[in-house]
């Protein structure tokens, strides 16, 4: 065997044919089977990731106060909203019924309900901030 062929050659005495094997060669799948399998596997993985992401971002309902950040007071380790505070210099935050303060990412949605007890439907952006999707009930008791 001559040329740039790297591998080895065998002679099949029964059929009289030479068999050549190259180093690093891969078996070729008939009809693009390898590509079809790869595409199917990629589709399954991407679909699974989308479904997992959708499960984590379900909106939740919470009740608490929409409060100006400068009007939040701490009492016995819990945050509360001082309803008598008239300061308007801070950002809107959400103080839940357990006394946890969360930043509100969409300030315009909250501004009209500043200082009010509300029930909201929201998505968490991270551990400290939320996006209010809907104010279900203002003055929720």
**Residue range of the domain that includes 91:** 60-138
Residue 78 placed within a domain: yes
Residue 131 placed within a domain: yes
For the chain, how many structural domains are there in total? 1
- Indicate yes or no: pTM above 0.95: no
Residue 126 placed within a domain: yes
Residue 82 placed within a domain: yes
Mean pLDDT of 74-94: 88
pLDDT confidence band for 1 (50 / 70 / 90):
very low
CATH of the domain at 107: 2.40.50
Contacts of 6 (CB under 8 A, 6+ apart): 22, 23
User: Which tokens hold the place of 47?
Assistant: 């679909």
Lowest mean pLDDT across 15-19, 26-30, 65-69? 26-30
Cα angle at 81 between 80 and 87, to 5 degrees? 145
Residue 11 placed within a domain: no
Residue 86 placed within a domain: yes
Residue 71 placed within a domain: yes
């Amino acid at each position: 065997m001559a040329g740039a062929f790297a591998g080895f050659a065998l002679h099949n005495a029964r059929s009289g044919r030479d068999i050549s094997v190259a180093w690093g060669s891969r078996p070729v799948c008939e009809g693009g089977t390898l590509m079809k399998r790869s595409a199917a596997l990629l589709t399954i993985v991407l679909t699974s990731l989308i479904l997992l992401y959708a499960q984590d971002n379900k909106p939740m309902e919470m009740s608490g106060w929409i409060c100006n950040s400068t009007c939040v007071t701490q009492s016995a380790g819990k945050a509360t909203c001082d309803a008598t505070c008239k300061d308007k210099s801070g950002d809107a935050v959400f103080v839940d019924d357990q006394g946890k303060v969360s930043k509100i990412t969409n300030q315009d949605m909250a501004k009209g309900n500043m200082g009010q007890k509300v029930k909201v439907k929201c998505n968490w952006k991270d551990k400290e901030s939320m996006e209010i999707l809907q104010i279900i009930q203002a003055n929720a008791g």
